[in-house]
Amino acid sequence: MTTVRRVVLLLLVSAALQGCGLWAKITGAEKHAQEQAQQLIALQQQCQRYADGYAGRILETVAPLVKQAGDADVVNQLLSWEISQLNSVYTIATGPSPVVC
């Protein structure tokens, strides 16, 4: 009977040494975490593509207005607005959380 107890104790100790990594593999939590990480990466890429498209539309819209503007103050305001829009969209798209994006 003591041999059985030793074997059980040895199994319990080895399972404890494996820690949560073994439990995560058994329950499938590791695979779920990897799938969730892939989804977040895809969402981040989608946000960045949207930011690129938005930035392109801003640049295409403001450039002709800058060429037509005769007043330096108007040009400065247009370019300031353009820079603020580009800065905002890229700050949001490259932020730490794609869900917040």
Closest CA to 79 of 55, 60, 62: 62
Tokens of 101: 């994006």
Q: What pLDDT is stored for residue 19 in this prediction? A: 60
pTM of this structure: 0.65
- Residue 93 CB-density burial (10 A; 0-12 exposed, 13-18 middle, 19+ buried): buried
Check: CB of residue 94 under 8 Å from CB of residue 48. Answer: yes
Alpha helix (H) residue ranges in 1-101 = 2-18, 20-27, 29-68, 72-93
Q: What pLDDT is stored for residue 47 in this prediction? A: 92
Q: Decide: helix, strand or coil at residue 101.
A: coil
Query: Within 13 Å of residue 57, how many CA atoms lie on the same side as its CB?
Result: 8
Task: Say how far apart CA 64 and CA 71 lie, in whole Å.
Answer: 14
pLDDT in tens, the chain (101 residues): 678 777 777 777 666 655 656 656 666 777 888 888 899 899 999 999 999 999 999 999 999 999 998 889 999 999 999 999 999 999 999 888 877 77
